[in-house]
Chain A
Amino acid sequence: MKVKLELFGASRDLSDKDFLEFNIEKKISIKDLKKKIINYVDEKFKGNENFKKIIETSAFCSEDNNIISENYKITKDQKIGIIPPIGGG
């Protein structure tokens, strides 16, 4: 299945596009998706510590715009938003 990770704020620096895509064989928790994103940073950005910190401190949101916990399971093709620490106004 495909997980489309929509990028916001500081996480936009992870790609030239507005999203990252991950091909995943079986259902996956947000906790494990985070590990996959960190692996991506290791491969693409030589383990850039700033990027890793952004991922570690980010929340995630579902397609219906709710913040989801690390135990949330992705079981089908889905969009997930990454929500780095916020600060508007």
Chain B
Amino acid sequence: MFHAKIIDIKKEKIEVDKAEKFISSSKFGASLIFRGTVRETNENKKVIGITYDSHDAMVIKSFEEIYNEVDQKLKIKKKAVYIEHVKGYLGLGEISIIIAVACPHRAETYILSRYIIEEIKKRSPIWKKEHYENEESEWLKGNPIQAN
């Protein structure tokens, strides 16, 4: 079971309830919901919000690739995975990403959830522009993507 979506925050909300409902099943004995939220400081600067930008098609493709490789790489076959990432402006404390996973046992849910977020950071074309108290803003330095 897999769900992946980019949420354009101008048009819709990102909702934890939907994630919880999606992964809920008596087939699974363990579930985890990871939420990424906007933090008030970064590198000693007071942050007031973040604008997220996304190459939507490539992001969804990267989410699918990450999901599909889990069988082989992590040997986790039975699972439910729900990933949503926001694009647009978010204020402090608002949710930028939800990764909800469910598996038969707890150890694999922790491994799976952590694997997904770390791979997204490395592979999914999403960018952050931080906005600061002094009205300045800055695109954050990220990790270059390499061509295969």
Contact = CB atoms under 8 A, between A and B. Distances in A.
Interface of A: 8-10, 12-13, 57-61, 65, 67-70, 81, 83-89
B141 A87 contact: yes
Interface of B: 36, 52-55, 57-59, 61, 85, 96-97, 117, 120-128, 139-148
Contacts of B126: 86-89
Contacts of B141: 85, 87
9 contacts: A57-B144, A59-B144, A61-B125, A81-B55, A83-B125, A84-B127, A87-B128, A88-B85, A88-B97
B84 to A, nearest CB: 12
A89 B53 contact: no
B145 A86 contact: yes
B115 to A, nearest CB: 13
A85 B124 CA distance: 10
Given A59-B147, A68-B147, A88 B139 contact: no
A58 B142 CA distance: 10
A10 B139 contact: yes
B87 to A, nearest CB: 9
Contacts of B143: 85-87
Contact of B140 (A12, A59, A83, A87): A87
B61 A65 contact: yes
A53 to B, nearest CB: 10
Contact of B127 (A65, A67, A69, A88): A88
A84 B52 CA distance: 14
B85 A85 contact: no
Given A69-B148, A86-B127, 15 more contacts: A8-B53, A9-B53, A10-B127, A57-B144, A58-B144, A59-B146, A65-B57, A65-B61, A84-B127, A86-B121, A86-B123, A86-B126, A88-B96, A88-B125, A89-B85
Contacts of B127: 8-10, 84, 86-88
A8 B55 contact: yes
Given A85-B142, A86-B125, A88-B128, A70 B96 contact: no
